[in-house]
A and B are shown apart, each in its own frame.
Chain A
């Protein structure tokens, strides 16, 4: 069972929810797909960590063979190539690694080389298998790292897999949720929070994913995010209070469900709800 946790902006509580769901599940895999700012490992402090470099293919030119026909320049949809003063210029950051330029070159002047863009770290924390994607600073595209993080999961489908998504609703989030059985949308109780909730709501609708909302930082009184959910018939599957104890544990990089019985119960209940929702979904939409 694969559960993706997402939100329209950073700081709503994606990592809090995903780390603690993974921690209360008996045996689980936690995957940090927030490759630009992965922080789940700060809570899990995994042991026996292994690193694997992730690279993408980019073109390189042999100027002796290039006759300046510019087919590659015209082919590239992202304009990663320019031909100036009888020399080909390649913008490695702009390249999306499609390999098309190499194919269209009639002189075989272009070949591919590897460029490292980041790493995948794997380790264990109690019964949680912790995987983090870390994109090198300054890199623009994290999707190859996410693909690597998610590629090996297909054979371990018995476990609970929790995906901690990047914030927002861009391509990188689409890639993170594409194989999820269920999505958890984490929302803040503000008007701004509603705007961000709506972004991910639109996304999960587009992908036709079953989903539920967790309202985080709940205070007494009116909650705009809750009203938004009620108006649109969106299922609220959990509420986390705005609580000093929780904030303190979390800011000390503690896993709250390993420190507080109150929160252990809250997240166990949330996990049960999610499991029930997924089973219900499998029966109604097999």
Chain B
């Protein structure tokens, strides 16, 4: 199963990025093959709607789950349409979160914020 995590740098030792839409990179990790791929987040410098574009990247890379500290309403709508499950990260460490996910210790992210720009969340 392929999972996605917003990360600060292109290495497994990096930390989870506090922002989903404007994270510099996404880590796509295959839980069966242990293969990891880092993808540039082209949404990071968007004028607006970064969450929507970032979610499109997650869907296009065929992840089945997203591990993130937070997620906005619009991004959550896109991920939901793409049948991607959201899980809340438990620490800054990418490795800890992957391990926790494999052990089924991560809880579902349900506190979706309304966005920081007055969009969404009506």
The reply to whether B120 and A79 contact each other, CB–CB distance below 8 Å, is no
A interface residues, tally (CB under 8 Å): 18
Interface members, chain B 41-67 (any A CB < 8 Å): 43, 46-50, 52-53, 55-56, 59
B96 interface residue, CB < 8 Å from A?
Answer: no
Closest residue of A by beta carbon distance from B52: A79
How far is A84 from B74 in the complex, measured between Cα atoms in Å? Answer: 13
- Chain A residues near B118: list those with CB within 8 A: 140
Return A40 CB to nearest CB of chain B, in Å: 23
Interface members, chain B 67-84 (any A CB < 8 Å): 74, 77-78, 81-83
The reply to whether A84 and B56 contact each other, CB–CB distance below 8 Å, is yes
Known A80-B52, A84-B59, A93-B122; 10 more pairs at CB < 8 Å = A79-B48, A79-B56, A80-B49, A82-B53, A84-B78, A85-B59, A93-B74, A94-B49, A94-B74, A140-B118
Residues of A with Cβ closer than 8 Å to B?
Answer: 73, 76-85, 87, 89, 91, 93-94, 138, 140
Closest residue of B by beta carbon distance from A70: B56
Return B85 CB to nearest CB of chain A, in Å: 15
* Interface pairs (29), CB distance under 8 Å: A77-B47, A78-B48, A79-B43, A79-B48, A79-B52, A79-B53, A80-B52, A81-B52, A82-B52, A82-B53, A82-B55, A83-B56, A84-B56, A84-B82, A85-B59, A85-B81, A85-B82, A87-B81, A89-B81, A91-B49, A91-B74, A91-B120, A93-B119, A93-B120, A94-B119, A94-B120, A138-B122, A140-B118, A140-B119
- Chain B residues near A79: list those with CB within 8 A: 43, 46, 48-50, 52-53, 56
How far is A73 from B55 in the complex, measured between Cα atoms in Å? Answer: 13
Return A76 CB to nearest CB of chain B, in Å: 8
- Chain B residues near A89: list those with CB within 8 A: 77-78, 81
Q: Is the interface of B mostly helix, strand, loop or mixed?
A: loop
Residues of B with Cβ closer than 8 Å to A?
Answer: 43, 46-50, 52-53, 55-56, 59, 74, 77-78, 81-83, 117-120, 122
Top 6 closest pairs, chain A to chain B, by CB: A79-B49, A138-B122, A78-B48, A79-B53, A84-B81, A140-B118
Return B7 CB to nearest CB of chain A, in Å: 21
The reply to whether B52 and A94 contact each other, CB–CB distance below 8 Å, is yes
How far is A258 from B64 in the complex, measured between Cα atoms in Å? Answer: 67
- Chain A residues near B82: list those with CB within 8 A: 84-85
How far is A77 from B48 in the complex, measured between Cα atoms in Å? Answer: 7
Return B92 CB to nearest CB of chain A, in Å: 27
